[in-house]
């Protein structure tokens, strides 16, 4: 059962060997960004969650660190 | 190695809180340089006595350094280049995770510039696992009540390395082992030491191994989900999410338990019905929108459109701050076991 970890302080799970790490926004709001305004925030939140979900479908042999803003979702 | 003619010039790295600039609300402060000792730096000055002097303090907001580490690194590097201290002392960070991570960054940069450094933090602080140059790490407890003894050790060890003196073994000097072994002579031959150790072990007495064996944790990646559209996904958070009123009394830090709540039929987490008790970050934003630490609303939307097959109705929550390593493992295993017993295909885990 694969697990995708979404974290703003992603260097920590990466250094601990977590296999699927997704970069979150900020420590105070990991899965979103209220500063974007509600429409763009929603789009961003979909990006984050979709990136995390897609990582669950990828076969990997070494740890993966994904930036939702760089991934096609 | 420095020939010390005068007092050692020390630069002190502190976070916004210990520098006296504010608490969580100032965690986004960018890196600043102040030309004197701040907060515990004053005590550090006293402890250094005539052997050293804090010539400047570099202050970094914990969130800024964590989230904009490239920018923070640049400012710290510029500061150290221009100040050219004999020694950088970072922290002590105790069990503050972001602060420990920042101290590791500062000492790593110092190391890259050839500047000696020492830091201090709890052995389970995530900063310990990050690259930190060659800087010895003084192990501390979790609480800043130990500031004096931590600074004493850091000043002592820092002074030694700044004067070019060799540090003794980690246990003797009081720093976390760096995995280095030096040839030397012991009083007793090896076979006697081994038997003595075995006798102690068999009698249940404490003994000190000469060769700690620490396996590197490599977690075999789980096989991927074949099709998201047929998959059920579970949500877990370490953000300290609780129903309003915290009926089951989830602790704000040092958690040894996790809680599970049924969210079947719930569209999203509302500010009216949910709360956040995590002590380790500024929680006002998450209190207004709890979906930021457990994106139930988004996951439900994706379920409605068929992008995922199902949403597991139980969510798991704990407060991921000051969590002991073994408690984290135990809770993780328990949650994992519970999810394996159901028809969950994958998990989203949200941490800070």
Q: What is the pLDDT of residues B36-94, one digit of tens each?
A: 999 999 999 999 999 999 999 999 999 999 999 999 999 999 999 999 999 999 999 99
Q: Show the DSSP H helices in A1-73 as ranges.
A: 11-15, 37-56
B271 touches chain A (CB under 8 A): no
DSSP string, B190-206: HHHHHHHHHHHHHTT--
Task: List, as ranges, residues 121-160 from B with C-beta within 8 Å of A.
Answer: 126, 129-130
Check CB contact of A31 with chain B, cutoff 8 Å.
yes
Higher pLDDT, B324 or B313: B313
Q: Find how far residue A39's CA is from the centre of its chain.
A: 19
Residue A3: pLDDT band with limits 50, 70, 90 = very high
pLDDT score recorded for residue B171: 87
Q: Is the pLDDT of residue B4 over 60?
A: no
Phi, psi of B159 (to 5 degrees): -60, -40
Q: Give the mean pLDDT of B196-221.
A: 85
Q: Does B240 touch chain A (CB under 8 A)?
A: no
Per the CB < 8 A criterion, the answer to whether B120 and B138 are in contact is yes
Contact B228 A24 (CB under 8 A): no
Report percent pLDDT > 70 for chain B: 97
Domain ranges of chain A: 5-70
Cα–Cα distances (Å) from B177 to B127, B128, B164, B168, B260, in that order, read 15, 11, 19, 11, 39
Enumerate helices (H) and strands (E) in chain B, giving the number of each: 10, 13
Using CB atoms, which residue from A3, A32, A57 is nearest to B347? A3
Nearest Cβ partner of B340 from A1, A29, A31? A1
Q: In chain B, what residues touch A15 (CB-CB under 8 Å)?
A: 126, 129-130
Please tell me the predicted confidence (pLDDT) of residue B3. Answer: 55
B225 to chain A, any CB pair closer than 8 A? The answer is yes
In chain B, which residues have their Cβ closer than 8 Å to the Cβ of A29? Answer: 285-286, 289, 292
Token pair of B158 as six digits? 């820092």
User: Are A59 and B285 inside 8 Å of each other by CB?
Assistant: no
Q: What is the mean pLDDT of chain B?
A: 94
Q: Which residue of B has its CA nearest to A35?
A: B285
Task: Give B227's contacts in chain A (Cβ within 8 Å).
Answer: 57
**C-alpha to C-alpha distance for B17 and A37, rounded to whole angstroms:** 30
In angstroms, the CA B233 to CA A12 distance is 24
Q: What string of DSSP letters covers B283-302?
A: -HHHHH-GGGTS-HHHHHHH
Backbone phi, then psi, for B11, in 5-degree steps? -105, 135
Task: Report the distance separating Cα B136 and Cα B73, nearest Å.
Answer: 20
Q: What is the pLDDT of residues B118-175, one digit of tens each?
A: 999 999 999 998 999 999 999 999 999 999 999 999 999 999 999 999 999 898 999 9
- Report which of B82, B93, B83 is spatially closest to residue B132, judged by C-alpha positions: B93
Q: Which of helix, strand or coil describes residue B315? A: strand
Q: What is the pLDDT of residue B67?
A: 92
Look at the alpha carbons of A19, A21, A27, A30 in this order and tell me if their dihedral is positive or negative.
Answer: negative
Interface of B with A in 327-346 (CB under 8 A): 336, 339-340, 344-346
pLDDT beyond 90 at B208: no
Chain B: give the shortest CA distance to residue A34, in Å: 8
B189 has a pLDDT exceeding 70: yes
Closest listed residue to residue B28, CA positions, set B67, B74, B71, B64: B64
Kindly list the domain boundaries of chain B, sorted by start residue.
8-173, 228-350
From chain A, pick out residues whose CB is under 8 angstroms from the CB of B350.
5-7, 24, 30-31
Q: Is A52 touching B (CB cutoff 8 A)?
A: yes
The reported pTM is: 0.65
User: Which of B63, B231, B298 is closest, CB to CB, to A46?
Assistant: B298
For helices B97-112 and B69-83, the axis angle rounded to 10 degrees is 50
Best of A23, A33, A44, A49 to substitute, by most chain B Cβ atoms within 10 angstroms, is A49
Q: Which CATH number fits domain B8-173: 3.40.50.720, 1.10.569.10, 3.40.50.2300, 2.40.160.60?
A: 3.40.50.2300
Q: What is the pLDDT, as a whole number, of residue A15?
A: 83
Tokens of B259: 């809680």
**Chain A residues inside the 8 Å CB shell of B302:** 46, 49-50, 53
pLDDT above 70 (res B215): no
Residue B17, pLDDT score: 97
Does B73 contact A at CB distance below 8 Å?
A: no
- C-beta separation of A5 from B239 below 8 A: no
Dist CA B67 CA B73 (whole Å): 11
- Peptide bond preceding B92 in cis form (omega within 30 of 0): yes
């Amino acid at each position: 059962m694969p697990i995708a970890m979404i974290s703003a302080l992603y260097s920590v799970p990466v250094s601990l060997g977590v296999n699927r790490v997704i970069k979150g926004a900020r420590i105070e709001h990991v899965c979103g960004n209220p500063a974007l305004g509600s429409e763009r925030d929603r789009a961003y939140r979909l990006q984050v969650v979709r990136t995390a979900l897609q990582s669950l479908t990828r076969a990997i042999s070494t740890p993966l660190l994904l930036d939702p803003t760089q991934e096609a979702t | 190695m420095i020939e010390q003619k005068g007092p050692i010039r020390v630069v002190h790295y502190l976070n916004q809180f210990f520098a006296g600039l504010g608490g969580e609300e100032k965690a986004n402060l960018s890196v600043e340089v102040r030309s004197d000792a701040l907060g515990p730096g004053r005590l550090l000055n006293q402890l250094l006595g005539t052997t050293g002097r804090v010539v400047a303090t570099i202050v970094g907001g914990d969130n800024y350094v964590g989230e904009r580490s490239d920018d923070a690194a640049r400012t710290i590097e510029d500061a150290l280049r221009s100040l050219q201290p004999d020694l950088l002392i970072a922290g002590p960070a105790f069990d503050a995770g972001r602060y420990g991570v920042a101290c590791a960054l500062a000492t790593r940069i110092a190391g890259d510039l050839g500047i000696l450094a020492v830091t201090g933090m709890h052995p389970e602080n995530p900063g310990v696992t990050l690259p930190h140059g060659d800087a010895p790490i003084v192990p501390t407890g979790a609480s800043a009540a130990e500031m004096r003894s931590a600074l004493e050790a850091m000043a002592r060890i820092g002074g030694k390395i700044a004067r070019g003196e060799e540090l003794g073994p980690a246990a003797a000097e009081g720093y976390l082992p760096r995995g280095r072994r030096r040839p030397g002579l012991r009083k007793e031959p090896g076979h006697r030491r081994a038997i003595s150790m075995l006798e102690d072990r068999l009698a249940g007495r404490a003994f000190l191994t000469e060769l700690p064996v620490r396996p590197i944790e490599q977690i075999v990646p789980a096989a991927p989900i074949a099709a998201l559209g047929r998959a059920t996904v579970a949500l877990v958070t370490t953000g300290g999410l609780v129903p309003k009123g915290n009926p089951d009394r989830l602790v704000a830090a040092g958690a040894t338990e996790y809680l599970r709540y049924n969210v079947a039929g719930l569209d999203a987490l509302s500010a009216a019905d949910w709360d956040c008790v995590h002590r380790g970050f500024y929680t006002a934003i998450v209190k207004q929108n709890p979906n930021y630490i457990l994106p139930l609303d988004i996951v439900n939307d994706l379920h409605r459109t068929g992008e995922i097959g199902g949403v597991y109705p139980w969510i798991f929550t704990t407060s991921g701050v000051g969590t002991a390593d073994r408690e984290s493992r135990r809770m993780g295993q328990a949650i994992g076991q519970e999810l394996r017993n159901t028809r969950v295909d994958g998990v989203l885990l949200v941490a800070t």
